Amino acid sequence: MTLERITSRVEADAPGSSAELTHFRVGPTDASIKIYMQAALHADEQPGIMAIHHLLPLLEKADKDGKLHARFSIFPMVNPLGMSRIESETHLGRYDARSGTNFNRRWPDLFAAVGGGVGPQLTDDPSANVRTIRKAVKNWLDAQTPQTAMQKLRHRVMCEAYDADYVLDLHCDDEALPHLFVTPDSMKELAELADWMGSVAQLTAEDSGGGSFDEVWPSLWTRLRAAYPGKPIPFSARAATLEYRGQHDVFDMLGKRDAENLFAFFIAKGFIDLPLPPRPEPAPAPLPLSATQMLRVSKPGLLAYRVELGDWIEKGQPVADLIALDGPQAFIGRTPILAGTSGRVISRCTKKYVLPGTSIAKIVGTEPLPERQGYLLED
């Protein structure tokens, strides 16, 4: 098939307003493998839009040349609702305006939705079980009646992603090096993605506690396999969040390189029949997300960093100083902010005026931290 552009309208909650949602499909419609990709779910995170801008022509040409062996479904800007959230020239695209919900939190629990009902339908045929499970998800989606604009948007997205074998969610951090969030089962098949992406850290969690989009899909299969150990259920939804550096890293050069590396990953997996470019250096081994400290401040102040991205630091080492802005030490006193673990600094905060509870750095350690239980995400 040629590159197909599909545009629909998402009715907003206010009368007389709606948002345009566009996605692309490319590749043989009868291909056994489906790859779903999206960017800018957090609408103020746009490096992924640039990467897809450069990726689409590569896929279109490969398709015209008969080189695609997978079908792709791609939302370059998956959250038009968040794109409109601009107040006083500041983009607030991380949260839904009406509910305050983080756009990448509290997605539906598919195991809770279909896990119990699908059990009696499972057989000893692995392929049939995959079809049965996906049909159950599709039936559940078809039965939903989304009410709010955010619910309608999520429903459209899930209806396109539910049968994908690979789900790649393109994000970025504040100021950061490339890294991945991924479930352990997905990591087994996405090591090459980390290599091609140039990822400095693969942070794994079965359940990070937030109901994020990338965990919706693999969690269903992992939990079904645990619930029905006597039935052959192939793990059928590998998913990851790709963190493409920081919010300000939206440049042609970076996006083109990211697209070429994604394209090379698809070649390496056999989804595109083209010569494989020289392989990159292997990425570091995955580490549990619970070993990564989200270093926070306990009072307001002005940040003065002592470390750079990529630095290895030891537990107890100052990461930054917090300059006092009020009280007896205002504009004179500096309080060191100390690392709670040994590890590599992969992200920092671009805003240097910070309030209590602000996360100022991610420090990727090797040992799980006692305080890192339950909710493991940054916000």
Q: What is the dihedral of CA 69, 200, 294, 345, to 10 degrees?
A: -160
Rounded to whole angstroms, the Cα distance separating 258 from 265 reads: 11
pLDDT digit string (tens) for 187-234? 999 999 999 999 999 999 999 999 999 999 999 999 999 999 999 999
- Which residues are paired to 181 by β-bridges? 203, 241
The Cα 121–Cα 80 span in angstroms is 38
Between the alpha carbon of residue 194 and those of residues 172, 203, 244, the distances in Å are: 15, 11, 12
Q: Which CATH class is domain 4-285?
A: alpha beta
d(CA 313, CA 362): 12
Q: Which amino acid makes up residue 81? A: L
Domain covering 290-364: architecture: Beta Barrel (2.40)
Res. 131 pLDDT band, cuts 50 70 90: very high
As given in the structure block, the two tokens for residue 241 are 């969040």
When pLDDT is cut at 50, 70 and 90, the band that residue 96 belongs to is very high
Query: What are the extents of the domains in the chain?
Result: 4-285, 290-364
CA distance linking residue 330 with residue 332, whole number of Å: 5
155-179 mean pLDDT: 98
Residue pLDDT, tens place only, 111-121:
999 999 999 99
